[in-house]
Structure 1
Amino acid sequence: MYTLDTLPFKNCFAQLPAHFYARVAPTPLENARLLSFNAAAAQLIQLDPAEAQNPNLVAYFNGERAWQGTQPVSMLYAGHQFGSYVPQLGDGRAMILGETQGWELQLKGSGPTPFSRGSDGRAVIRSTVREYLCSEAMHGLGIPTTRALCMLISDEEVYRERIEQAALLVRMAPSHLRFGSFEVFFHRRQYAQLTELADFLLAQHFPELQHQPEPYLALLEAVVKRTARLMAQWQCVGFAHGVMNTDNMSILGLTLDYGPYGFLDVYEPGFISNHSDHEGRYAFDQQPSIGLWNLNALAHAFLPLLADDPDEAVEKARSALWQYQPEFDQAWLNGMRAKLGLQAEFAADQALIAELLTNMQQNLVDYTIFFRRLASLSRQPQNTDTKVRDLFLERTAFESWVEHYRQRLAQEDSLDAQRHTQMRQVNPAYILRNYMAQQAIEQAERGDAREVERLLKLLQQPFTEQVGMERYADHPPAWADSISLSCSS
């Protein structure tokens, strides 16, 4: 295990030419202090969790003390924001310190950069707590995501929709490259830089594709498939990312940039997690198609890499994009079958799932609670059926569906005990509901880390029912409906 002083750093991205980034330095926060340290994330980089007590930890991450081996840079990228192309964005409040053990360490909220566009370069406690907890919650659910090592809070005041306290997140990812990292060079017609970045990505993260007959096409196909599977996983767990701009789409297929987001409470396909999204572009049920829309923007940026002839390049890009829908459909169907405890594949499964989701929508059924309770349903009617039936306002609809479901279980001679165990391994007891994050935020703003720590531990094991945590597996309180999230969340 390493200490902070012995942690070995390099920065492969910083070895690229300067047109890919800006060299920066953190601007220290006022009276910064550690709120929470994630020992599980520390293990990924072989950092001794006892280093949370090291007095130099805050100084290193806050930029008060020089850290040997680090080379802070902020990345350049562009992106389509709510469907409109913005020619230059970049890390306006983030900087990569370097990488260690295959993970980039990035400061988020570390002060202004050349890409800040006049902003202060800060994050606030509200947004930092939300990302800190949700990235770990997503990992606990088995969904590809960035991770969070620790978060600092401070006395520094910044203005968002109100005066708030500044905070800093230490984020981790194998790479922070985005779709927009490639778009910027395509739209600038800087094809040499575009090629250089693609070669870097292949060498660092897709070495198995380097010797393919058409490595750039193989790379695009890999990103298409990873993104399709990620969108399916979001849908299966009921997660809505509120700002699916191309600059927030990871080239590695990770869940990236937790701004406004939300897990479904009641099953509402048109759920919008971001009150800034007035048109519902990123509503829950629109996200699979937006995933493809974003990939189309990426494929457009890849055209110069695919062929010298424009028509040939377009055909190759289309061939890659055509793989999205089958990949998504299969991943989603497999995920939903697993949630229902179905092992075999039958043609009627899709109709069974559609019937269920329609009934859940019409009856305002809680998405997470329903599937968790369904994991206790037996093939033969039992008195305990009421635990699931009581979630439906219209009991007849449930009775009709559950009869079809039991018939389907009989088709594969499903064993109750085995199925119940398997279903509990894919249907979480706990998700990060907005009210839970809000309670943690309010305590953190008072300097109290107890709820953050409690939720961090809970959400890292979402499939295991934990003693004393029953309230977190229950319906959200009525006041949760009043929580409103925007792009500053």
Structure 2
Amino acid sequence: MEQYLNLSAIKLENTYATLPEAFYTKQYPSKVPSPKLVIWNNLLGEELGENLDFLKQKQGIEILAGNRIVEGTTPIAQAYAGHQFGHFTMLGDGRAVLLGEYVTGKGERFDIQLKGSGRTPYSRGGDGKAALGPMLREYIISEAMNALGIPTTRSLAVLMTGEGVVREAVLPGAILVRIAKSHIRVGTFEYANQFRNKEELKALADYTWNRHFKENQEQEQPYVSLLQEVVKRQAKLIAQWQLVGFIHGVMNTDNMAISGETIDYGPCAFMNRYDPDTVFSSIDMSGRYSYQNQPKMASWDLARFAESLLPLLADTGEEAIKIVQEEIDKFPEIYHAFWLEGMREKLGLFHLVDGDNALIEELLRIMFECHADYTNTFRDLTLGVKSSSQFADSEAFEQWYQLWQKRRENQQESLEESKALMESKNPTVIPRNESVEDALKQAVENQDYSAVESLVSLLRNPFDYSNREVFYEMPSDFSDCGYKTYCGT
């Protein structure tokens, strides 16, 4: 077979390659010995708006594995930098290759990236490969996030490569086919500002604006507007994480997408028992990226983004710094507004009134002191049932419950409308850590993917209150305490 495949069924563009060459390296994926498709995301394939079923056939699998390239596009590895746990370093796509950009019939543009596709100039001594377990984890969690209405990259497919990768043991190798609005990161701008010139930084900013924010029309100060839009999107995204108890685990600046999508599902997990200090990542020894620190870390990362834009923001450094400070200082208020709105909706409250913030904070305080399950608490409130846990039996909760009921009854909307609002905001299910681990174990050890697919099917209907059979509790012998997640590199 020729290395390039002339296929009319799929056409890929690569507008990112119109940027100065310093932002990427032309890079073919490494060929793999015997690719096998183990997960195909039918739902995502349908949503892309075209019939992509041919990718499940032999020629298509060769494309998804990186063994063959669609004619008319040149794969690239992107260059970027980033602050990892507060320390700046040069990075880049060390185990990923961007095949190209797929444009749907609606004109929407998505990157198609192969994750685990081999070494690149940015691998920094790594093998550029990926293990099956972490790639399946990304598929599970990203589909759950999408169903929860949270912006996210998604997984079109997972393939086994037919070769082993060496981690703590020899593990089955895999490739994830990731779909994203783009892979432009805060770290991409840090790289441009630190290592490139002003014209190249401007080219990146202009490209980013046109790709993600062009609906905002012309702006008198486009780079200030770019900063404002990114701050707003990230504030909303982090609020959405907090509202469902999601902990990203590695909020480095290279893992913050300018598009506002959740990206890079490494040591991520959902919190069971409500504890603001919860952290799952094995490499986060200090709790830098704990649940309660995520809004602070987002603000910190955005400050690095703003610093990268300094040369473009104003004619003088002093004026540019003033703009940066003003815009970053707005983040806590913007974030809190999104979070407060979301928490009110979780409690069936339609409009903000004095005392709502205190009502919410009191509930969270009681939940923490009584070791309440975060998801199940809001689910039970939605159902109007009281759990048998210490939480529901406490005097403090009873007092809070009466205040909450009075608050609901005093609003114009009916209790039925309030309940409907709660049902649309409080999931019945999340990717429980034990369920995820069990599904991954069956897949990795037995090549049995039925548990993964069953779990994903369940997670795609998180707000289904019509079928009580989908409700499940965290098993009593499983605790967040001691549970660790890993990057997979």
Normalising to structure 2: TM-score of the pair?
A: 0.93
Matched, 1:447 2:451: no
> 1:174-209 CA deviation, whole Å, 9 max, x = no partner?
111000000012112522211110011112222244
Which sections of structure 2, spanning at least 5 residues, go unmatched? 1-5, 104-108
The aligned residue for residue 115 of structure 2 is 108
Q: Distance in 2 between matches of 1:24 and 1:52?
A: 22
Q: State which drifts further: 332-341 or 191-200.
A: 191-200
Q: Distance in 2 between matches of 1:4 and 1:230?
A: 37
Matched, 1:423 2:426: no
The aligned residue for residue 461 of structure 1 is 461
Q: Distance in 1 between matches of 2:338 and 2:56?
A: 43
> For the structure 1 residues 390 and 415, does the alpha-carbon distance in structure 2 shift closer, same or farther, using more than 3 Å as the test?
farther
Q: Distance in 2 between matches of 1:108 and 1:349?
A: 44
> For the structure 1 residues 391 and 460, does the alpha-carbon distance in structure 2 shift closer, same or farther, using more than 3 Å as the test?
farther
> Residue 29 of structure 1 contacts residue 166 of structure 1 at CA under 8 Å; is this kept in 2?
no
Q: State which drifts further: 221-230 or 430-439.
A: 430-439
Shift of 1:62: 1.1
Shift of 1:388: 3.3
The aligned residue for residue 93 of structure 1 is 95
Q: Distance in 1 between matches of 2:479 and 2:357?
A: 33
Normalising to structure 1: TM-score of the pair?
A: 0.93
Q: Distance in 2 between matches of 1:361 and 1:438?
A: 25
The aligned residue for residue 34 of structure 2 is 31
Matched, 1:22 2:25: yes
Shift of 1:32: 1.7
C-alpha root-mean-square deviation of aligned residues, in Å?
A: 1.9
Q: Secondary structure at the match of 1:136?
A: helix
> For the structure 1 residues 391 and 58, does the alpha-carbon distance in structure 2 shift closer, same or farther, using more than 3 Å as the test?
farther
The aligned residue for residue 3 of structure 2 is none
Given candidates 167, 176, 180, the residue that maps to 1:173 is 180
Shift of 1:55: 2.1
Amino acid at match of 1:460: R
The aligned residue for residue 382 of structure 1 is none
Percent of paired sites with the same residue: 40
The aligned residue for residue 381 of structure 1 is none
> For the structure 1 residues 292 and 211, does the alpha-carbon distance in structure 2 shift closer, same or farther, using more than 3 Å as the test?
same
> 1:432-453 CA deviation, whole Å, 9 max, x = no partner?
1221221121121121111121
> For the structure 1 residues 264 and 135, does the alpha-carbon distance in structure 2 shift closer, same or farther, using more than 3 Å as the test?
same
Q: Secondary structure at the match of 1:388?
A: coil
> Residue 242 of structure 1 contacts residue 273 of structure 1 at CA under 8 Å; is this kept in 2?
yes
Amino acid at match of 1:150: A
Q: Distance in 2 between matches of 1:466 and 1:273?
A: 32
> For the structure 1 residues 364 and 195, does the alpha-carbon distance in structure 2 shift closer, same or farther, using more than 3 Å as the test?
same
Given candidates 218, 223, 226, the residue that maps to 2:225 is 218
> 1:76-135 CA deviation, whole Å, 9 max, x = no partner?
00000001111x100000111111121110000011111001111011111101111111
Matched, 1:312 2:314: no
Shift of 1:466: 7.4
> Residue 430 of structure 2 contacts residue 459 of structure 2 at CA under 8 Å; is this kept in 1?
yes
Given candidates 13, 28, 37, the residue that maps to 2:16 is 13
The aligned residue for residue 437 of structure 1 is 436
> For the structure 1 residues 22 and 103, does the alpha-carbon distance in structure 2 shift closer, same or farther, using more than 3 Å as the test?
same
The aligned residue for residue 68 of structure 2 is 65
The aligned residue for residue 43 of structure 1 is 46
Matched, 1:240 2:247: yes
> For the structure 1 residues 210 and 311, does the alpha-carbon distance in structure 2 shift closer, same or farther, using more than 3 Å as the test?
farther
Question: How does 1:394-405 map onto structure 2 within 5 Å?
Answer: 395-405=394-404
> For the structure 1 residues 80 and 456, does the alpha-carbon distance in structure 2 shift closer, same or farther, using more than 3 Å as the test?
same
Q: Distance in 1 between matches of 2:219 and 2:40?
A: 42
The aligned residue for residue 250 of structure 1 is 257
> 1:441-481 CA deviation, whole Å, 9 max, x = no partner?
112112111112112222222111575953x6322452454
Which sections of structure 1, spanning at least 5 residues, go unmatched? 378-384
Q: Distance in 2 between matches of 1:316 and 1:414?
A: 42
Matched, 1:375 2:382: yes
